[in-house]
């Protein structure tokens, strides 16, 4: 952080992060780094069966172990309500089974917790958990969503009488009529297989209940929601609960959840009167932190001979897993809202059916529904181009919503705030010449290397809010989704900003400081952001869905504006000027046209707190709160290109180049944007090539550690080429849109399209992820059969 | 309980003698016994590298080493990497190049990178990527991590040696006369 | 996760180590610990005692003696990788996992673990190496690598024996290749093939050794490929024709990463590439 005075705007500059000094020296404090006096450790005894009745739990052996304090089961702990599911879509019935922190009577997936062992030694509780004898009476198991929908399938929840959780549709126009008008219709079964969030920090919880008050530390993305549900489930008045999200080591949606362990530890601490810590192992993380994706979509896309897309129909069967967790059933719907992508398609329909299986629940994982939707659209679009004999970029251009038509209402009734899809594509082509790539491909082929280029032009919907649209009367989430912020100026002019958003790597402390610094005429190094503590700041809804800047950042901007307005009044009063003539300039609140006449923020704060000579009627002090609930979502967009080299002898794919042009409105800090884009792309690279949460037919997890669930590492990915365009959003005053998920949303289609493009000369026209070498090799061997590889 | 074993080792220049359970992992010794919580645990299978420290001058995964195996050894953790009051060039470069986001993999990543630069002062991009194969990051996509390590290599003129291939320069290793190929 | 409880000793002599091993039939030897400690943490192994070999002298060197390369059992993968004159052994060692693992894992530990997916075993088999084991009472015996690997994770090592050295006949003027195939850089080999070739003065193939990693329950040698090449031409067509025999006799099981058929295909492709690399 430089200390130069604010001669210019801080917003837009690639400042290095305020967060980093503590993190690069090992001084960050994550949940497992916190130790409380008298703290117990918890280890969970989990189901080894995918579906079974619990016959008995014998803890006698475990209780004999030195240091073991208690073993508790589902029968021992009472809760006011079950674990939450937040979606009640108007007019749609959702079958939500009971879901408790510890299983009651029945387990429904491998890893379902049966008992908790408490003791005062971290190693001893693990030993004792192995001593707990759980007798399970196996029930029939179903893991395949197609099988689960068949007549006579085993039922995950007998009492529901069906494996279908819900059916939900969103459409506009008439897709059958639209498809009938088409000269070419592409039909694909697009599989978005199950993946894990897999943040490098597994989850962790410490509950400390004493004297009627609860302090709970959790590696969560949503401390305020957690506080609410602790109150509801434990029957505690909310003011007695404080939730702290300390340093959080990544989330990717997997920590946007109300987990049984969080509630359980609070209940156990209350019961035993001692603080309790639980740290998830990686095997647990892969088994029982919610998964993402797991949809099979039957997609039809039609176009006329001249390349006008007439209709798109996606019929999605989505695997819910065994329970409906916080947002489980609504995830596929998030994709449905942008099922027409960045194209003007007159007839669009998405039909979703949610299905229970004896697997861990799915829920939001980076992109949450929008990567799946983009994948469907962009894969089918490039196939459509191939069948039309048209350049895939030309087909896109013929269907882009024109830049001059924003805000644009889509067939689905969604209002896209702003966009310039031609602009991002044009900029992409400044960086990469498809003709040159194709020429290079010719030269490589004789060496057995097939080079291909694939594209993805996307838009997505984020900045979740607005409450009136996503809330109970709209989409049906049982909450508002605004943000609030408090900006406090100390006597010395130092600024503390409190936010209800909850970062876990995004760099909020830096970006938000830049916004506030400009508003108040100070340098970002004197602006500190406080987050992740329900007791020290205003209420908020957390960090997920690329919402933090567009909603939380705007709330901060508004609070800072209020502070600036009060400051202007104080300065005007002191300097005998009109408040409207005071502006922030040269590190001061200065009189317009007389820049030497002004007061620094410290001087203003001095006046505000000493309060000896304030304008009549003005309250002392210098801090303001703002709540912000936007009128619309924001819709980032962009154009990505991937170049891949396929070793056709082995099926192994190497990413030769990857170019991304994204538009998330005016940059607050370009460094942070690039970081999000890089990470977002690699998240998709993992899904496309390596990662797959697999279960066998008995519901046993086959990808339960980092050997069998392989994240890409540095040598598996390329260097990226990134660029931006800046089309402001009219939704908020900053003009900004989210960027946390865009890379992931865009990239899988670009990569898979590139592989298909490479192999088209060999007759491959269809590939489903994950593109393990054998699947690619097999697709080449069976080219022409058009089955997308094994499903 | 199995008999405890006395171990004596140097951590970040300071000598420690402790009675430990034989099964105690080095990472837990550092974190729980010495309170050095900068070294993290991210997996159970020696895959993620968040626990990387230097043992007797070499990067190792402290989740896969028993504390008793380190008796008599010298360990450097992220807390001991900075030189006096100045950041280590790799730390500086991670900050400068936005080589971290959530920070959880960062200590291990920095320790692995510092280990590479000790052996190979001027690595190629490919060498950097290969040297970090045992360290997983879920946030950054590695782009800025690799950039940071390359930048640190350029910035650190303190201890320049001629380039050597990775994996070279371990045992004193006079080449044997007549081997089994090249 | 966390290992089960065990006792620990770190003897300073082989004799003491043997004594400890004899005292406790449930004891296990600890070398670098990079096969064993992960198994302990997953509780796939639960020994009553670990006998750490790190203090025992004489197990850490690499030297040549009378046409034989002698590699101490405690020599680490990183050291093997730095000795380029070890040919395919060095090349294979260089691909093991990552630098941190190579800093700790040892050749003796790797061989004694007996995992056919490990990189070193098949190379040692192909090079007709010998595993020297010490026995209680000061004796020792030499086990040909071809007889050492009995089955998956099972070796000819008797419970009371300790691997102390690996001997490989030096081959003058050899070229080597190691082709490892995996999805991610960090992954175990789906299949790997090592090749060591010696050309005669006329350029023909004087000698050739091919090792197959993860192509069965033990490390394998592709003798059909060797027989097809030995004494004949060592050019592209000859190599291609011979490599097509690489999976002959192998019957690799399906696993999560690859089917049996695909592994056989990979063996053929990688054999050709390894031979090309070795033939220069």
Which CATH number do you get for residue C71? 3.30.465.10
Q: CATH number for the domain including C22?
A: 3.30.43.10
Name the β-bridge partners of A15.
none
Q: pTM for this structure?
A: 0.96
Both C96 and C136 in one domain: the answer is: yes
Handedness of CA B47, B52, B58, B60 (dihedral sign): negative
Q: Which of residues 11-30 of B touch A (CB under 8 A)?
A: 21, 23-24, 28
What pLDDT does B167 receive?
A: 43
Rounded distance between C-alpha atoms, residue A781 and residue A778, angstroms: 5
Chain C residue with CA closest to A708: the answer is C256
Interchain pair A777, C262: CB under 8 A: yes
Work out the percent of chain C whose per-residue pLDDT is above 90: 99
Which phi and psi (to 5°) does residue C196 adopt? -130, 125
What average pLDDT score do residues A570-574 get? 97
DSSP A678-718: HHHHHHHHIIIII----B-TT--BS--STTTS----GGGS-
Averaged pLDDT, A31-50 = 98
| B148 touches A: beta carbon within 8 Å | no
Residue A684 clears pLDDT 80, i.e. is over it: yes
Q: Which two tokens stand for residue B146?
A: 């690799």
C-beta atoms surrounding A91 within 10 Å: 6
Give the number of other CB atoms < 10 A from CB of residue A610: 11
Structure tokens at C91: 């090349």
**Sheet architecture: strand order including A291-303:** A164-172, A348-356, A309-321, A291-303, A184-196
Assigned domain for C175 exists: no
Q: In terms of C-beta density within 10 A (0-12 exposed, 13-18 middle, 19 or more buried), how is residue B157 classed?
A: exposed
Nearest to A509 by CA among A5, A20, A12, A13: A20
What percent of chain A is predicted at pLDDT more than 90?
Answer: 96
**What's the average model confidence in pLDDT over C29-33?**
97
Of B44, B78, B141, the CB nearest to A705: B44
The residue segments making up the domain with residue C17 are: 7-52
Cβ–Cβ contact C262 with A under 8 A: yes
What tens digit of pLDDT does each residue of A546-560 get?
Answer: 899 999 999 999 999
pLDDT of residue B160: 43
CA distance A311 to A345: 6
Tokens standing for residue C100: 């941190």
Residue C148 shares a structural domain with residue C104: yes
Name the residue facing A689 among C4, C183, C257 (closest C-beta): C183
CATH number, position C191: 3.30.390.50
Q: Using DSSP, state whether A319 is helix, strand or coil.
A: strand
Q: Is the pLDDT of residue A6 over 50?
A: no
Cα A458 from Cα A699, distance rounded (Å): 35
Q: Are residues C76 and C149 in the same domain?
A: yes
Judge contact between A711 and A717, C-beta under 8 A.
Answer: no
Looking at the structure, tell me whether residues C161 and C190 fall in a common domain: no
What pLDDT score does A7 carry?
A: 53
Same-domain pairing of C152 and C228: no
The chain B residue lying nearest C100, using CA atoms, is: B60
CA dist list (Å): C37 to B61, B152, C52: 11, 33, 12
**C2 part of a folded domain:** no
Structure tokens at B168: 């070279």
A787 has pLDDT over 70: no
Give me the phi and psi of A180, to 5 degrees please: -65, -30
Cβ-based contacts of A778 with chain C (< 8 Å): 262
Q: Is A467 helix (H, G, I), strand (E, B) or coil?
A: helix
User: Any idea which of A420-434, A463-477, A514-528, A693-707 has the lowest mean pLDDT?
Assistant: A463-477
Say whether both C151 and C224 belong to one domain: no
Specify the long-range contacts of residues B8-14, CB closer than 8 Å, at least 24 apart: B8/B71, B8/B72, B9/B70, B9/B71, B9/B72, B9/B73, B9/B74, B9/B75, B10/B73, B10/B74, B10/B75, B11/B36, B11/B74, B11/B75, B11/B76, B11/B77, B11/B80, B12/B36, B12/B75, B12/B76, B12/B77, B12/B79, B12/B80, B13/B80
Q: What is the per-residue pLDDT for B127?
A: 97
Query: Quick check: C149 pLDDT over 70?
Result: yes
B2 falls in which pLDDT band (50, 70, 90)? Answer: confident
Q: Which of residues C109, C136, C168 is at a domain's end? A: C168
Whole-angstrom distance, CA of residue A681 vs CA of residue A733: 28
pLDDT, tens only, A131-149:
999 999 999 999 999 999 9
> In the numeric block, which tokens belong to residue A261?
């362990």
**Record: contact B133-C34, CB cut-off 8 A:** no
Tokens found for residue A139:
């029930």
Asked whether residue C231 is domain-assigned, the answer is: yes
Summarised one tens digit per residue, pLDDT across range B23-37 is 999 999 999 999 999
Q: How many CB atoms lie within 10 A of CB A670?
A: 15
Phi-psi map region of A496: left, alpha, beta (phi>0 left; psi -120 to 50 alpha):
beta
B-contacting chains (≥3 CB pairs under 8 Å): A, C
Residue B163 has a pLDDT of 43
Q: Minimal CA–CA distance to B99: which of A721, A674, C184, A680? A: A674
CA distance A646 to A776: 9
Identify whether C176 is part of a domain. Answer: no
How far apart CA C218 and CA C210 sit, in angstroms, is: 14
**Structure tokens given for C151:** 């089955």
C96 and C159: one domain? yes
Structural domain total, chain C: 3
Instruction: Identify the domain boundary among C109, C135, C168.
Output: C168
Chain B closest-CA separation from residue C84 CA (Å) = 6
CB contact under 8 A, A200 and B95: no
> Is residue A428 a contact partner of residue A657, using CB atoms and an 8 Å limit?
no
Q: Nearest-5° angle of CA A510, CA A513, CA A516?
A: 155
Q: Say whether residue A774 is in contact with chain C using an 8 A CB cutoff.
A: yes
pLDDT band at A465 (very low <50, low <70, confident <90, very high): confident
Distance (Å, rounded) from C-alpha A219 to C-alpha A141?
A: 32
Which of C96, C100, C178, C185 is the mutation pick for testing B, counting most B CBs within 10 A? C100
Residue identified by tokens 């069976």 is: A782
What is the pLDDT, as a whole number, of residue A8? 76
The answer for A 680-719 residues in CB contact with B (under 8 A) is 680-683, 705-707, 711, 713-715, 717, 719
Rounded-to-integer distance, Cα A623 and Cα A614, Å: 15
Report how far residue A306's alpha carbon sits from residue A322's, in angstroms, rounded to the nearest whole number: 46
Q: Are B32 and B99 in contact (CB under 8 A)?
A: no
Q: Choosing among C76, C99, C127, C210, which should be mutated to test the B contact, i.e. which has the most B CBs within 10 A?
A: C99
Q: What pLDDT band is residue A595 in, cutting at 50, 70 and 90?
A: confident
List the single range of A27-36, A540-549, A572-581, C159-168 with lowest mean pLDDT. A540-549
Residue-by-residue DSSP string for A231-292: HHHHT--GGGEEEE--B----TTTTSS--HHHHHHHHHHHHHTS-EEEE--HHHHHHHS-EE
**Neighbouring-strand partners of residue A185:** A302
**Which residue from C253, C238, C252, C248 is spatially nearest to C268, judged by alpha carbons?**
C248
| pLDDT score, position A344 | 98
Q: What is the dihedral of CA A371, A373, A376, A380, to 10 degrees?
A: -110
Q: How confident is the model at residue A783 (pLDDT cuts 50, 70, 90)?
A: confident
Cα→Cα distances A126→A42, A92, A278, A280, B39, Å: 8, 44, 11, 12, 21
Q: What integer pLDDT is reported at residue A613 of this predicted model?
A: 94
Higher pLDDT, B168 or C126: C126
**What mean pLDDT is reported for chain A?**
96
**Given this model, what pLDDT does residue A201 score?**
98
Q: What percent of chain B has pLDDT over 90?
A: 81
pLDDT > 90? residue A445: yes
Cβ contact B140:B146 at 8 Å: no
For the cut 60, the answer to whether the pLDDT of residue B106 exceeds it is yes
Q: Taking 50 as the threshold, does the pLDDT of residue A5 lie above it?
A: no
Query: Residue C90: is its pLDDT beyond 70?
Result: yes
**In the predicted structure, residue B172 carries a pLDDT above the cut 70:** no
CA distance B68 to C9: 9
The rounded Cα A82 to chain-centroid distance in angstroms is 24
Output the pLDDT for position B84. 74
Residues in chain A: 791
Residue C173 lies in a domain: no
| Residue C125 in tokens | 């088999």
Residues C149 and C196 in one domain: no
- Mean pLDDT throughout A274-292? 98
Q: Percent of chain B scored above 70 by pLDDT?
A: 85
- Considering the domain architecture, whether residues C228 and C164 belong to the same structural domain is answered as no
Q: Is residue C197 situated within a structural domain?
A: yes
Q: Which of C1, C3, C78 is the closest to B170 by Cβ?
A: C78
Residue C270 lies in a domain: yes
Residue C57 lies in a domain: no
pLDDT value of residue B158: 47
Report pLDDT digits (tens) over B72-99. 999 999 999 997 789 999 999 999 999 9
**A194 within 8 A of A504, measured Cβ to Cβ:** no
What is the structure's pLDDT at A791? 37
Give the integer Cα–Cα distance in Å for A744 and A684. 5
């Amino acid at each position: 952080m430089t200390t130069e005075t604010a001669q210019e705007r801080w917003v837009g500059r690639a400042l290095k992060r305020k967060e980093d000094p503590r993190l690069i020296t090992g001084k960050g404090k994550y949940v497992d780094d916190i130790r409380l006096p008298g703290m117990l450790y918890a280890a969970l005894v989990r189901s080894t069966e995918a579906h079974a009745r619990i016959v008995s739990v014998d803890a006698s052996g475990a209780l004999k172990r030195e240091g073991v304090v208690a073993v508790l089961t589902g029968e021992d702990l009472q809760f006011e309500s079950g674990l939450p599911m937040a979606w009640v879509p108007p007019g749609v019935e959702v079958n939500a089974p009971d879901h408790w922190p510890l299983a009651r009577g029945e387990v429904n997936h491998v890893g379902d917790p049966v008992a908790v062992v408490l003791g005062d030694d971290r190693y001893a509780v693990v030993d004792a958990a192995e001593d707990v004898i759980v007798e399970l009476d196996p029930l029939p198991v179903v893991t395949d969503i197609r099988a689960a929908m068949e007549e006579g399938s085993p039922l995950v929840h007998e009492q529901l009488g069906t494996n279908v959780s819900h059916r939900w549709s969103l459409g506009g126009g008439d897709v059958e009529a639209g498809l009938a008008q088409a000269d070419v219709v592409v039909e694909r079964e697009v599989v978005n297989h199950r993946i894990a969030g897999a943040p490098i920090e597994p989850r962790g919880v410490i509950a400390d209940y004493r004297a009627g008050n609860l302090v709970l530390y959790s590696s969560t993305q949503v401390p305020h929601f957690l506080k609410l549900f602790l109150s509801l489930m434990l029957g505690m008045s909310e003011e007695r609960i404080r939730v702290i999200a300390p340093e959080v080591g990544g989330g990717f949606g997997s920590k946007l959840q109300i987990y049984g362990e969080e509630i359980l530890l609070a209940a156990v601490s209350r019961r035993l009167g001692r603080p309790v810590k639980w740290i998830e192992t990686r095997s647990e993380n892969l088994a029982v932190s919610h998964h993402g994706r797991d949809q099979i979509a039957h997609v039809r896309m039609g176009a006329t001979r001249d390349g006008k897309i007439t209709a798109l129909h996606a019929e999605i069967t989505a695997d819910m897993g065994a329970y409906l967790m916080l947002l489980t059933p609504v995830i596929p719907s998030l994709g449905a809202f942008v099922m027409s992508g960045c194209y003007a398609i007159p007839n669009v329909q998405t039909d979703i059916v949610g299905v229970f299986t004896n697997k861990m629940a799915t829920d939001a994982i980076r992109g949450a529904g929008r990567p799946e939707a983009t994948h469907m659209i962009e894969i089918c679009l490039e196939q459509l181009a191939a069948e039309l004999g048209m350049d895939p970029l030309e087909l896109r251009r013929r269907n882009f919503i024109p830049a001059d038509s924003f805000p644009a209402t889509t067939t689905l009734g969604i209002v896209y705030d702003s966009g310039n899809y031609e602009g991002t594509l044009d900029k992409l082509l400044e960086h990469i010449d498809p003709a040159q790539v194709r020429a290079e491909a010719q030269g490589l082929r004789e060496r057995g290397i097939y080079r291909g280029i694939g594209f993805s032009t996307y838009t997505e919907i984020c900045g979740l809010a607005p409450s009136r649209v996503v809330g109970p009367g709209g989409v049906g989430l049982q909450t508002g989704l605004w943000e609030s912020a408090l900006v406090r100026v100390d006597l010395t002019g130092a600024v503390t900003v409190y936010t209800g958003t909850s970062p876990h790597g995004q760099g909020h402390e830096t970006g938000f400081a830049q916004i506030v610094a400009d508003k108040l005429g100070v340098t970002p190094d004197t602006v500190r952001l406080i987050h992740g503590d329900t007791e020290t700041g205003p209420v908020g809804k957390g960090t997920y869905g690329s919402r933090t800047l567009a909603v939380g950042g705007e709330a901060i901007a508004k609070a800072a504006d209020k502070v600036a307005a009060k400051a202007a009044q104080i300065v005007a009063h002191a300097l005998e000027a009109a408040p409207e003539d005071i502006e922030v300039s040269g590190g001061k609140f200065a009189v317009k046209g007389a820049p030497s006449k002004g007061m620094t923020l410290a001087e203003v704060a001095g006046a505000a707190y000493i309060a000896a000579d304030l304008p009549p009627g003005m309250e002392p002090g210098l801090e303001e709160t703002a709540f912000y609930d936007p009128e619309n979502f924001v819709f980032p967009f962009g154009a990505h290109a991937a170049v891949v080299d396929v070793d056709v002898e082995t099926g192994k794919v190497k990413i030769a180049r990857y170019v991304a042009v994204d538009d998330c409105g005016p940059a607050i800090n370009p460094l942070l944007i690039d970081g999000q884009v890089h990470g977002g792309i690699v998240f998709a690279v993992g899904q496309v090539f390596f990662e797959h949460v697999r279960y066998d037919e008995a519901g046993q997890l086959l990808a339960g550690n980092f050997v069998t669930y392989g994240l890409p590492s540095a040598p598996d990915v390329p260097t990226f080429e990134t660029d931006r365009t800046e089309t402001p959003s009219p939704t908020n005053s900053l003009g900004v849109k989210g960027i946390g998920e865009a890379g992931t949303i865009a990239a899988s289609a670009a990569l898979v399209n590139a592989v298909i493009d490479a192999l088209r000369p060999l007759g491959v026209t269809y590939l489903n992820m994950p593109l393990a070498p054998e699947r690619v090799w097999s697709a080449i061997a069976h080219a022409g059969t058009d089955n997308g590889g094994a499903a | 309980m199995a008999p405890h074993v006395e171990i004596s080792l140097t951590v970040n220049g300071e000598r420690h003698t402790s009675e430990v359970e034989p099964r105690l992992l080095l990472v837990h010794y550092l974190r729980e016994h010495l309170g050095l919580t900068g070294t993290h645990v991210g997996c159970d299978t020696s895959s993620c590298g968040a626990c990387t420290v230097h043992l007797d001058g070499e990067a190792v995964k402290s989740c896969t080493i028993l504390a008793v195996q380190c008796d008599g050894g010298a360990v450097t953790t992220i807390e001991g990497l900075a030189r006096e009051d100045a950041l280590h060039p790799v730390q500086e470069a991670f900050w400068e190049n936005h080589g971290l986001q959530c920070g959880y993999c960062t200590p291990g990543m920095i320790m692995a990178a510092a280990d590479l630069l000790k052996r190979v002062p001027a690595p190629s991009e490919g060498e950097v990527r290969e040297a970090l194969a045992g360290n997983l990051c879920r946030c950054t996509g590695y782009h800025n991590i690799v950039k940071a390590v390359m930048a640190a290599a350029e910035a650190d003129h303190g201890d320049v040696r001629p380039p050597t291939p990775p994996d070279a320069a371990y045992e004193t290793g006079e080449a044997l006369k007549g081997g089994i190929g090249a | 996760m966390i290992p089960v409880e065990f006792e620990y000793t770190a003897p300073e002599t082989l004799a003491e180590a043997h004594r400890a091993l004899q005292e406790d039939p449930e004891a296990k030897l600890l070398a670098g610990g990079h096969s064993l400690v992960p198994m302990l943490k997953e509780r796939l192994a639960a020994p009553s005692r670990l006998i750490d070999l790190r203090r025992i002298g004489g197990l850490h060197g690499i030297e040549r003696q009378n046409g034989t390369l002698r590699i101490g059992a405690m020599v680490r993968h990183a050291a093997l990788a730095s000795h380029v004159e070890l040919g395919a052994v060095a090349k294979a060692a260089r691909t093991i996992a990552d630098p941190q693992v190579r800093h700790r894992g040892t050749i003796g530990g790797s061989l004694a673990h007996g995992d056919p997916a490990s990189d070193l075993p098949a190379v040692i088999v192909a090079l007709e190496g010998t595993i020297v084991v010490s026995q209680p009472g000061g004796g020792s015996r030499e086990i040909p690598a071809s007889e050492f690997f009995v089955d998956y994770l099972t070796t000819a090592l008797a419970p009371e024996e300790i691997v102390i050295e690996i001997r490989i006949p030096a081959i003058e003027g050899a070229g080597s290749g190691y082709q490892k195939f995996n999805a991610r850089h960090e992954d175990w080999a789906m299949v790997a093939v090592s090749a060591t070739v010696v050309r005669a003065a006329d350029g023909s193939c004087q000698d050739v050794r091919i090792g197959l990693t993860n192509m069965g329950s033990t490390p394998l040698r592709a003798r059909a490929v060797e027989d097809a090449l030995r004494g004949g031409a060592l050019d592209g067509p000859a190599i291609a024709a011979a490599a097509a025999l690489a999976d002959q006799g192998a019957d690799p099981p399906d696993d999560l990463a690859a089917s049996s058929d695909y592994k056989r295909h990979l063996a053929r492709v990688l054999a050709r590439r390894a031979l090309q690399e070795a033939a220069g």
